[in-house]
Structure 1
Amino acid sequence: MEGNSIFHAFNIYFAIFALFCFKLLIKISLALLTHFYIVKGNRKEAARIAEEIYGIAPGSWADRSPLHEAAFQGRQLSLKTLIAQGFNVNIVTIDQVSALHEACLGGHVACAKVLLENGAQVNAVTIDGITPLFNACCSGSAACVNMLLEFGATPQLENHLASPIHEAVKRGHRECMEILVANDVDTDQEDSQHGTPLYVACMYQRTDCVKKLLELGASVDLGKQLDTPLHAAVRKSSAEAVNLLTDYGASLTRRNAEFKCALDLAAPTSEVEQALLLREGPASLAQLCRLCIRKRLGRSCLYVVHKLNLPEPLEKFLLYR
């Protein structure tokens, strides 16, 4: 009896798995068929299949419309002409890329404005979780970032979407990063793939961003799971980042998933190892006081210190200037 039950259960699981594979095969076949029609120039048939697969409404789909091309190339007058001729500003490709995505990726703020003023969806999302704001941060266009935020772009995104602040930091676009933080984006937001913005800045050796994030109150020891920004800076042999992080109180004793502290990762006799060895042992009383005051003030430290009416040397000391 027990053997029959196991055999019966196996048959059920096998049937479910076979059904899943069958549905997946159908979707792959439809996607390949769509690509075939795109290559052949039959957009109508490709659009019908796209509607069936992705639920995209008829008339709002194209593989790449003239609107996309004009937006990507920054041709503002052509864009206005196409819209006047009746082109849908929210027309998307099979990957749900809009003309606004393209304008922002190219850093064309004038084109982005035209599209937004004509009803383009500011928080449109591609099948890869990319928003126009992400593309603006990718291109490093602070003007596009500001424009999108003015039209209601969501700066703090859900975990399943690509994070604009992480992209800005990764590419070293500090101004874009600062605009996002000024719009209440969490400097300690941990992306499951990339970690915190500070961790990303250390991984990609964006020292300018490391400094600014620390000034803005980013938590110095929050990185990617057990790996801290200091671990990342040591791996990248960035003595400058190591000095910045330790100045802001980074722990030298924290251990990652491999149970290694930062010093364990440093190359022998390297500049990074020397920087870490110099920071071993108790911190000075002045440094402990500075860290204590900054911790007490929290992320408002950068703005509140000026209101304390302190002597200028002490104010500069608290602000690392």
Structure 2
Amino acid sequence: MEGGNNDDAVWNASGVILDIDPGSWADRSPLHDAACQGRLFALRNLILQGHNVNVITIDNWAVYHVQRSPGERAKPEALVFQPSPIHEASSKGNSECVETLVRWGADVDFDIPHLGTPLYTACVSREIECVRRLLREGANVQKGIYMDSPLHAAAEKDCTAIVKLLLDFGADINARNMEFQRPVEAAPPSSLTEGFLLVYEDRDYQEQLPMVAWAKASKAIKNNLRLTEVIAEPNISTNQRKVQAILHMHLEQRAAERAQNPIM
């Protein structure tokens, strides 16, 4: 392949051999495997045997060795950051493993470059039970990856339930990411999450939420002047998304009430 001064050329399969340093990230610790696979009993036994709950790899670091041409000695090229056990558990929805790791000293805000925190990982993976456990164990609701917050991740994934949970724990709805976007701007256009965040931003609506919860949504929208003002946006599509979010929250509230009192 010509153009040897082109850095992209080094990744050509015929010209590059990746040699993994022995004992590095290829050799995941048993704790990683137990957390990833949700094997709680094995995880507890490994912890009791003295395994480090914050381990990244067996030797805690890893380096790619890149051989750029045949016969050339492989040289260290870049530090590779691998997930910790709590990142593994959070991404796979293994909430009991998450709780066990935290209670045995795992850093609930363990921030790994290019991965972020366990909370951010759980939001990206749409694992609401892991999000809930991490928040209850004291995870920083604002700490994600760089300027991207967990709320940005949940909004981008259109996971309204996680968005609501994060807001309940004090997430900043006006936080800006690297693209200077707020969470509502990170949500997919015309999505339920975008509508929910648009409604949530309006404090007048927040005061009327109890009324929406017990009244029929259509009647509440029609008869309540202040709620009508909330959806009186110049853009009709914005109004539609707000109404959709209101109806969705009303149905969720009714379902929760019926679960608590089946005779309703």
Give the TM interval when normalised to the shorter protein: 0.5 to 0.7
The one-letter amino acid paired with 1:137 is C
- 1:305 is matched with 208
- In the alignment, the residues of structure 2 paired with residue 136 and residue 119 of structure 1 have an alpha-carbon distance, to the nearest angstrom, of 19
* Alignment root-mean-square deviation, CA: 2.9
C-alpha contact 2:83 2:115 (8 A) present in aligned 1: no
How far apart are 1:175 and its partner, in Å? 0.9
The one-letter amino acid paired with 1:303 is Q
Q: Larger helix proportion, structure 1 or 2?
A: 1
How far apart are 1:200 and its partner, in Å? 1.4
Equivalent pairs: percent with the same residue? 31
- 1:214 is matched with 198
How far apart are 1:135 and its partner, in Å? 0.8
Q: Give yes or no for the alignment of 1:317 onto 2:220.
A: no
- 2:236 is matched with none
Partner deviation per Cα, 1:138-184 (whole Å, 9 max, x = no partner): 12121111111111111113782542111111111111111111222
Kindly indicate whether structure 1 or structure 2 has the higher relative contact order, using CA contacts under 8 Å at least 6 residues apart: 2
C-alpha contact 2:117 2:145 (8 A) present in aligned 1: no
The one-letter amino acid paired with 1:301 is D
- In the alignment, the residues of structure 2 paired with residue 67 and residue 101 of structure 1 have an alpha-carbon distance, to the nearest angstrom, of 12
- 1:72 is matched with 36
Partner deviation per Cα, 1:71-118 (whole Å, 9 max, x = no partner): 111111111111122111111133152100110011110110111111
Summarize the alignment of residues 80-159 of structure 1 with structure 2, pairs less than 5 Å apart.
80-93=44-57, 94=61, 95=81, 97-128=83-114, 130-157=116-143
- In the alignment, the residues of structure 1 paired with residue 21 and residue 175 of structure 2 have an alpha-carbon distance, to the nearest angstrom, of 45
- 2:13 is matched with none
How far apart are 1:318 and its partner, in Å? 4.4
C-alpha contact 2:87 2:121 (8 A) present in aligned 1: yes
Change in Cα spacing, 1:62 to 1:118, as seen in structure 2 (3 Å) is farther
The one-letter amino acid paired with 1:88 is N
With 131-140 and 191-200 compared, the bigger mean Cα shift is at 191-200
Aligned length: 185
Q: Larger strand proportion, structure 1 or 2?
A: 2
Runs of 4+ in structure 1 deviating by more than 4 angstroms, as ranges, are 318-321
C-alpha contact 2:120 2:145 (8 A) present in aligned 1: no
| TM-score of the aligned structures, taking structure 1 as reference length | 0.51
How far apart are 1:194 and its partner, in Å? 6.4
The one-letter amino acid paired with 1:68 is H
How far apart are 1:63 and its partner, in Å? 5.0
Unaligned runs of 5+ in 2: 1-17, 62-80, 212-218, 231-242, 247-264
